[in-house]
Structure 1
Amino acid sequence: MSDTTSHDSIDFDRYDRIRPIRWTGDALELLDQRKLPFTVEYVTCTDSDAVAAAIHALTVRGAPAIGIAAAWGVVLAARTVDADDGTQAATRLAPAMQRLNDARPTAVNLAWALARMRRVLAASGADWREVITREADAIASEDLAANRRMGALGAALIAPGSGVLTHCNTGSLATAGFGTALGVIRAGVAQGRIDKVYAGETRPWLQGARLTAWELQQDGIAPTLVADAAAAHLMSTGAVQWVVVGADRICANGDTANKIGTYQLAIAARHHGVKFMVAAPSSTVDMDTASGDLIHIEERDPGELFAVGGVRTAAAEIDAWNPVFDVTPHALIDAIVTERGVIERPDGAAMRAAFGG
């Protein structure tokens, strides 16, 4: 695993302006991503069930951001609990933590963040409330630092003058800040490695069209939006040298689960000789899941496919299938980038060398 990186020429202040999660000390404020790009509005959550509902409704989304929000949800849940020490508190917080965990089952960061909160609770005494508050803050701070390092690592793989295609939203909106795959793109633009950024629209929630394009615009990066169905043709023109995407889970063999539509991009990229990069924090790595066929793929309301912007586009009384994620086999991935380094041509042996297990 390579870990050579440089933060030189990356202006983080310029390329890191958005914060989707704000802890006020009394409540959790979540930037409502359902209303972007036309309305910038925060939803205030004062209890853990409100946080769980916001995660399920995609008010907050993106695997790292979901984990951070859940950690703060535990802090909010603690306000209704009386306990003498962390062990007692963990027992009494268990139902709230389970509801948070059930809000989005595919993203491993959610379970990972909750497991961190349980561990620090188990080791804490009468100061358990302060302990979990510090832990939630640490989860957010560590994510931001990891994203900045990941961005530099991933950008170093990209030759100057490249075009890149990304999918869904993997930027500041999906994390504590800077982003995973979009952090790689931000770093690549800052270093002059990336000349052109293409964003797939990402049906049915249009995260690419509504969120990624807006985010890049805030940083002065001019993206070109493409229909998901145009991606293979775009690759055939030679305009794209890398596809850079995120992940909601990375398995022990290097298979990755990501937003639906990622798998077909990997297939098209391999056919056209385009490199394929997955950028995600090490908290997304799940060495307990051997391969992608063991991942539970979340399905959402089929009705999400029937309309765009509230306007129905499909005939009445038809069926739809609405999986939220798909799995990209490791054989189609050229590099997995985490804050711990770069794994090129990932497989089981490379993953074990990097992450143990």
Structure 2
Amino acid sequence: MFLLKLLLRNAFRHPLRTGLTLLGLVVAIAAFGLLRTVNEAWYTGVQASSSTRLVARSAISLTFALPKSYVERIRGIDGVHTISWANWFGGIYQSERNFFPQFAVDPPSYLRLYPEYRLSEDEKAAFLRDRQGAIVGRKLANQHGWKVGDTIALRGTIYPGTWSFTLRGIWDGAEANTDENQLLFHWALLNEFIKQRFPKRGDAVGVYVLGINQPERAAEISQQVDLQFKNSLAETLTETESAFQLSFVSMSEQILVAIQAVSFIIVLIILAVMANTMTMTARERLAEYATLKALGFGPGFVSRLLLGESLLIALIGGALGMAVSFPIASGFSSVIGSILPTFQISSTTLWLQAGAALGVGLIAAAWPAWQMGRIDIVNGLRHVG
């Protein structure tokens, strides 16, 4: 207790200097945590993907559709127990700022493949009955203030016109990283529109989603699917859901690497600031440390005194930085909306923040503490004059 009291007195002997150092630590640790969370959120889709789902798309590009007639042939492949399909819609709700994913799906089979979308039986039944019906995730509903029974109007971009849907259900994610930022509606409704406006483009799907029971056979089943349509006019590329998600992440990989680099640069900058503070502290207290050695205190005690002071400041700043990370992340999440489906500070990020603060405290005081432990008593006492 005495040592802690002594460290606190020493740490706050210069309130302004210590306060500014703490402020820098708080900003640095909070910024480090926020950037790490952005990086993790980008990979949420990959982490939330299931090993029991495969995605088949056009081998040329996602922008090319696949014939609906592939359904039965894929269903007949050994290892595939369920098949569904989806089309990207790309509508605008009120303004372009309100971006969120919208998919036209085959409701019965799609919901079987995504059990992590927790929907009540009544809401599921209402959605299945209503061709104009739609369901959304809880986060998206909260963001726009939607409730069951509301009418949601989307302005089509790929498929022109105003599309009105009746909200029949709101799902809750089974896990924290389950995407709750999507809107799903009936593929049959979209297909009917396409066949009326663009007859040659009807009965086509964007992707097939395949349910398998044996994840260890994912590569084998994927190969069998692609062999079925090899040399056809619409060849397929089948991969695991996580690989499919990673293909999107890889498009922005350089940005993610830059964000990660900046997060570590911020820690290095505050390390330099902290090291400068501890060096100034050691220089000012040269005579005091020499006096302690003259009174019989060993070099180790003197070094631990300076090291403990640095750690105390770093840990206080780190704890405050971790605490303010949560409201900052919450505010950031409300601003970015549906761009990042889940934006939560993970336990890994908190441990990294704590480790960064601890590392800054240790490294910043290492050199001055070593010097003070080796200080010559006579030269130290002369420093008074």
TM-score for both structures, normalised by structure 1: 0.23
TM-score by length of 2: 0.21
Give the structure with higher Rg (CA).
2
Question: Looking at both structures, which has the greater relative contact order when contacts are Cα pairs under 8 Å and sequence separation is at least 6?
Answer: 2
Q: Compare the two structures and name the one with the higher helix fraction.
A: 2
